[in-house]
Chains A and B, each alone.
Chain A
């Protein structure tokens, strides 16, 4: 696919990096030369210096042969204009990043009148992600797939001391679950039977939701059922605003701590029912006066990573059951979760996952970028003719960095083994390291082609997005 990304900021770069792993020709436009140089040194994309709103530039990029334009500049209005222009010049699909809450209720208008196919809103996506976690009954963080039938759950090996030093094949402990990944020393490993478990490892288990919930309930200090009623949000920025709005709708008590008085007034006028506290988030007296320890959940969303991490650690120390921190640097996400903070969120990664899913189109039901973008968990409805169909998984020569975590067939969840055979129409959840994404495509989308075809087309085959 030919993709043009306007803006090489964090969002644009992450998107470029995610999409470049697949069979896409990506051009990135930005006005900052050094930012482009940094990107070009890391990712196989063509960088173009210039202003994306310029008609001349868009014309030289040839919108008629471009399949998709994503506008990710810091400016909402610019993004809308770029997308509209691109569409008029003949680009079939366009996506814009629009973040401002003022525009949130006119997204429909943008989509219809300006013919923008997809609006990415990292702050809103993040708020939705956090609210889903907060509203769930358990403190343990679980990611869900296949309409909630399948869950992904992370557990530290230190909580299961009898497993340390054992090989995965010897462990007769995870019944009805599959260890799809191990996070070790900052790297993600897709384990095999011979992988030995170590003290600092974090295991990622996939399985039926019911199995995992009962498993989690057995674990010490993880599994108590906990209904969230009181939430404190530290930092009243855009994400905080969206989150408060969601939580209020669900009838929770929300306190927001925000530094700027002007912003406080804005929040008070827009959020009916929330208690807005005007003060410094790092003012411990203020937090203690407001019963930090009594909260069911603390969400740190200030613009400063260090502040968010410190505040979250403080909250954990006070025994708050659910603690979430926003982390702006995407590669720190898994690290922060290892510190004992329940959940670290990165708006860019969450939203880049959404945009990727939009780009992939029909066959992909959900896609989340994990471990700071080092891996993807993808839910795919296996299309007819995919190479994986009809062979036992053990014989399919699936590369080491990829694992099928669960198969959903006729509403039934199957935990795959080497003998499992995937059929057309199965919903599979695949965990895949970033550098194996081409293999993901090879197995799940395209038919097998000859060696010469691979030679000429760079080995990945050309794939048009399936239309819905």
Chain B
């Protein structure tokens, strides 16, 4: 194992983190918040110092092996989260280490769960930092580092594969660096447009940014205690945030195709079609369930159904109403959507539509086999025959997801909360959604959990964001044996 090289990549990651800390620091300086300035500047100094120490470690750079790539990705995310937690402590916003780590991981993995009951008293710079973490973590931090610092001499093929969401990375140019630049260009433009729209819909500039970070990165942390409920009357805002979240839940490479005028290819993309079909069906069912039971008018029911379906399926977690009070069927729809997640190559979490599509096709093939045992029926996606390896990968991911979910729920129930709260907290952490139901419902926080559960939930969020395998392999003794 070439630890020198791993250390250098992680060092440059921390330097990048120190650099981006200047943005919330600017916010704090603008609002003249002593605590914020102090906390952010000190964290910046520490991150920069450790970064410089790690970068200056001399080591040979050699061809990146799988093992090192895994270590870079997992440790990279771990350390970025650790240093991202520092501002919360130094600014006095949070006192417990477990709380600060939870908050940082929740930001970076675009989960959006919080342990802070009263966020409105926090410095604006810290609130900005929380949400800015969504934006940074949504697209992936390591790929960005490798793309802008090719002098590290680390080829990013394996890292790109592990950090991007979904079974196969959508690389549409020969070089990863170029693909990353295009992805970030799309990402930046989406963010800019959304900031303008939200500003137009009546938010102030800081809130526009914070909401945009949440919707583009599919995060969901809010700078207000009541979250989106305060905006529940603002139809324009709710609809535009709802649409924005869905846009972020779509594979970003499709936007590249749109730019290249390959409209037909985009329209025929089977993952996109299924994603939109699931959304449409859920919105219809939820509207029907809400009408009369919760809201009196069709418009109100449809608005709320659309916003929350969009928020949960894209694993954002904004709530414009306390959906924990909705009828059981409505809650059930949202609970099921927690597992679906967005498309591969988006900023959303969850199982991912493409994997469900593969699993569904596999099940249908088994049924067909009963009728025609000899039928040749390879599994195809968009006309391409999937190799058996990819099918196995998708199905075993689904299995692993549910296995970790069940085991995780059991561990969280140690805190002696009601079972549905424990189950939904686990699902919300694994899927990077944020709020769940019951004790962790949209109007509640995760503050009451024991430090053990907080660390465990943070671990689930990282597991979900990095799609399990990379993180779990670290716990296998075989990984460390040469």
Contacts and interface: CB of A to CB of B under 8 A. Distances in A.
Interface of A: 2, 24-27, 33-34, 37, 40-46, 49, 187, 400-401, 434-436, 438, 454-456, 458-460
B387 A33 contact: yes
B332 interface: no
27 contacts: A24-B174, A26-B174, A33-B385, A40-B157, A41-B157, A41-B158, A43-B155, A44-B155, A44-B157, A44-B175, A44-B176, A45-B174, A46-B171, A46-B173, A49-B384, A187-B62, A401-B60, A401-B61, A434-B63, A435-B63, A436-B153, A438-B153, A454-B151, A455-B148, A458-B147, A458-B177, A458-B178
B387 A37 contact: yes
B173 A43 contact: no
Across the A-B interface, the 5 shortest Cβ-Cβ residue pairs: A25-B174, A459-B150, A46-B174, A458-B177, A26-B174
B219 interface: no
Interface string B164-180: 00000001111111100
Contact of A435 (B62, B157, B385, B389): B62
Contacts of A49: 384
A171 to B, nearest CB: 22
Contacts of A454: 151
A233 B389 CA distance: 44
Given A41-B157, A44-B175, A45-B174, 7 more contacts: A26-B174, A40-B157, A44-B174, A46-B171, A435-B63, A456-B181, A458-B177
Nearest to A43: B157
Nearest to B147: A458
Contacts of B121: none
Contacts of B150: 438, 458-460
Interface string B266-289: 000000000000000000000000
B125 interface: no
Interface residues of B, number: 28
B19 to A, nearest CB: 12
B156 interface: yes
B61 A435 contact: yes
A27 B174 contact: yes
Contacts of B156: 44
Contacts of B178: 25, 458
B29 to A, nearest CB: 25
Contact of A459 (B60, B151, B161, B171): B151
Contacts of B384: 49
A45 B176 CA distance: 8
Contact of A25 (B149, B158, B173): B173
Given A401-B61, A438-B150, A459-B149, A25 B175 contact: yes
B391 to A, nearest CB: 13
Given A33-B387, A44-B175, A49-B384, A435 B151 contact: no
Nearest to A27: B174
A2 B148 CA distance: 21
Q: Which of A24, A42, A187 has the most CB of B within 10 A?
A: A42
Given A46-B174, A438-B150, A400 B60 contact: yes
Interface in B40-65: 60-63
Contacts of A40: 157, 171
B157 A42 contact: yes
Contacts of A24: 174
B208 to A, nearest CB: 27
Contacts of A401: 60-61
Interface in B417-447: none
